[in-house]
Amino acid sequence: MNTTTTAKDALREQDAGTNQYLTFFLAGEEYGVNILKVKEIRGWEQPTLLPNTADYVLGVINLRGMVVPVMDLRKRFGMAQTELGKTAVVVVVKVVHSGRVRTIGMVVDAVSDVYNISDEMIMPAPDLGGTISDEYVKGLATIQDKMIILLDIDYLVNEGMLKDAGDSQE
Amino acid sequence: MAVNLDLSQFHEIFFEESREGLEAMESGLLNLDVGVPDPEVVNTVFRAAHSIKGAAGTFGFTNISQFTHVLESILDDVRSRKRGVTQELVDVLLQSVDGLRYMLDCAKSGAQADEDRVAAILEKLQNLPVEQQPRPAGWLIRFSPKPHLLQAGNDPYRLFRELKALGNLLITPDLSRLPGIDEKEFDPENCYLGWDLLLQSDAGIEQIREIFAWVEGDCDLDINLSGERRQMVERRRRRDDEPAELETGGKGQEQASIRVNIDKIDTLINLVGELVISQSILSHAVTEHDHDHDRTGRLKEIVELLEKNTWGLQEQAMRIRMQSIDITFQRLPRLVRDLCRSLDKQAELEISGGSTEVDKTVLEKITDPLVHLIRNAVDHGIETPGERKAAGKPESGLIEVSAFQEGGKIIIKIKDDGAGLDPGKILVKARENGLISDTEELSMGQIHDLIFLPGFSTATKVSDVSGRGVGMDVVKRNINDLGGSIELVSEQGKGSAFTIKLPLTLAIMDGQLIRVGKEILIVPVLAIVESTQIRKQLLSAVAGKTEVYRFRDEYIPLLRLDKAYGISSELKDITDGLLIVVDTGQQRVGLLADEILSQQQVVIKSLEANFQQVPGLAGATVLGDGTVAMIIDVPGLMRHCKGITAAHTAGNAAPLP
Note the pLDDT tens digit of each residue in B334-347: 888 888 888 888 88
CB-nearest to A62 from B617, B626, B647 is B626
B216 pLDDT higher than 60: yes
E strand residue ranges, B113-255: 138-145, 168-174, 194-200, 219-225
B653 pLDDT higher than 80: no
Output the pTM of the full model: 0.55
Q: Which residues pair with B144 in a beta bridge?
A: B220
Partner A contacted by B586 (CB < 8 A): no
Chain A positions in Cβ-Cβ contact with residue B640 (cut-off 8 Å): 52
What pLDDT band is residue B249 in, cutting at 50, 70 and 90? very low
At B501, which helix (H) or strand (E)? Answer: strand B495-503
Phi-psi sector, B552: left (phi>0), alpha (psi -120 to 50), beta: left
C-alpha distances in angstroms, A132 versus A94, A137, B1, B270, B607? 21, 8, 53, 37, 27
B243-257, B315-329, B437-451 — most confident range: B315-329
A-contacting residues of B 541-580, CB under 8 Å?
A: 564-567
The mean pLDDT value for B493-518 works out to 85
Chain A positions in Cβ-Cβ contact with residue B643 (cut-off 8 Å): 170
Chain A positions in Cβ-Cβ contact with residue B630 (cut-off 8 Å): 48-51
Nearest to A75 by CA among A91, A52, A58: A58
A-contacting residues of B 219-258, CB under 8 Å?
A: none
C-alpha distances in angstroms, A155 versus A66, A98, B52, B612? 23, 12, 42, 16
Q: Which residues pair with B521 in a beta bridge?
A: B514, B630
What whole-number percentage of chain B has pLDDT above 90?
A: 7
Q: Which residue has the higher pLDDT, B314 or B183?
A: B314
B245 pLDDT higher than 50: no
Distance CA A56, CA A157 (A): 12
Structure confidence at residue B5 (pLDDT): 59
A80-84, B391-395, B457-461 — most confident range: B391-395
* Residue in B with minimal Cα distance to A169: B657
Q: Chain A: which residues have CB within 8 Å of chain B?
A: 47-53, 57, 59-62, 64-69, 102-104, 162, 165-166, 169-170
User: Is B627's CB within 8 Å of A49's CB?
Assistant: no
**Cα angle for residues A108, A114, A115 (degrees, 5° grid):** 125
CB-nearest to A48 from B277, B627, B654 is B627
Among A39, A42, A48, A170, the strongest candidate for a mutation testing the B interface, having the largest count of B CBs within 10 A, is A48
Distance CA B8, CA A169 (A): 46
Q: What are the DSSP calls for B344-362, one per residue?
A: T--EEEEEE-TT-EEEHHH
Q: Long-range contacts: B285-289, Cβ < 8 Å, 24+?
A: none
Which 3 state secondary structure label does DSSP give A35? helix
Residue B432, CA atoms < 13 Å, CB-side half-sphere: 10
CB-nearest to A162 from B271, B611, B629 is B611
> How many contacts (CB atoms, under 8 Å) link A and B?
91
B381 pLDDT higher than 70: yes
CB-nearest to B616 from A51, A68, A102 is A51
Q: Per residue in B273-322, pLDDT tens? A: 778 778 877 887 787 776 666 667 788 888 889 989 988 898 888 888 88
User: Is B605's CB within 8 Å of A165's CB?
Assistant: no
Q: What is the ipTM of this complex?
A: 0.80
- B138 C-beta neighbours (distance < 10 Å), count: 21
* Residue in A with minimal Cα distance to B274: A65
CB-nearest to B616 from A52, A69, A102 is A52
* Residue in B with minimal Cα distance to A54: B657
Is the Cα torsion angle B326, B331, B332, B333 positive or negative in sign?
A: positive
Structure confidence at residue B400 (pLDDT): 92
Chain A positions in Cβ-Cβ contact with residue B613 (cut-off 8 Å): 166
Tell me how close the Cα of B3 comes to any Cα of chain A, in angstroms: 30
Phi, psi at residue A40, to the nearest 5°? -165, 170
User: Is A48's CB within 8 Å of B644's CB?
Assistant: no
CB-nearest to B610 from A68, A166, A170 is A68
Q: Which residue has the higher pLDDT, B582 or A167?
A: B582
Contact between residue B137 and residue B207 where contact means Cβ atoms under 8 Å apart: no
User: Is A169's CB within 8 Å of B605's CB?
Assistant: no
Partner A contacted by B268 (CB < 8 A): no
The mean-pLDDT minimum among A52-61, B386-395, B536-545 falls in B536-545
Q: Per residue in B601-640, pLDDT tens? A: 787 888 888 888 888 888 898 887 778 999 998 878 887 8
Running DSSP on this structure, what letter comes out for residue A79? Answer: P
Structure confidence at residue A1 (pLDDT): 47
Query: Residue A153 carries which side chain, given as an amino acid letter?
Result: I
Strands B595-603 and A29-34: unpaired
Q: Which residues pair with B602 in a beta bridge?
A: B509
Nearest to B28 by CA among B62, B99, B69, B78: B78
Structure confidence at residue A133 (pLDDT): 66
Partner A contacted by B654 (CB < 8 A): yes
The mean pLDDT value for B158-165 works out to 84
The mean-pLDDT minimum among A29-38, B151-160, B202-211, B339-348 falls in B202-211
How far is Cα of residue B79 from the mean position of the Cα atoms in its chain?
33
Mean residue pLDDT of chain B comes to 79
Structure confidence at residue B413 (pLDDT): 92
User: At a CB cut-off of 8 Å and minimum separation 6, what does B98 contact?
Assistant: B121
Distance CA B49, CA B25 (A): 7
Chain B positions in Cβ-Cβ contact with residue A57 (cut-off 8 Å): 611
3 state SS for B374-442: HHHHHHHHCCCHHHHHHCCCCCCEEEEEEEEEECCEEEEEEEECCCCCCHHHHHHHHHHCCCCCCCCCC
Structure confidence at residue B399 (pLDDT): 92
Structure confidence at residue B143 (pLDDT): 85
Q: Per residue in A34-64, pLDDT tens? A: 999 999 999 998 899 888 888 888 999 988 7
A-contacting residues of B 597-616, CB under 8 Å?
A: 605-607, 609-616
Q: Per residue in B20-78, pLDDT tens? A: 888 888 888 887 766 667 777 888 888 888 888 888 888 878 888 888 888 888 888 88
Q: What are the DSSP calls for B222-259, one per residue?
A: EEEE-TTHHHHHHHHHHHHHS-THHHHHTTT-------
CB-nearest to A61 from B606, B609, B628 is B628
Chain B positions in Cβ-Cβ contact with residue A67 (cut-off 8 Å): 605-607, 609-610, 620, 622, 628
Strands B485-491 and A29-34: unpaired
Which 3 state secondary structure label does DSSP give B549? strand
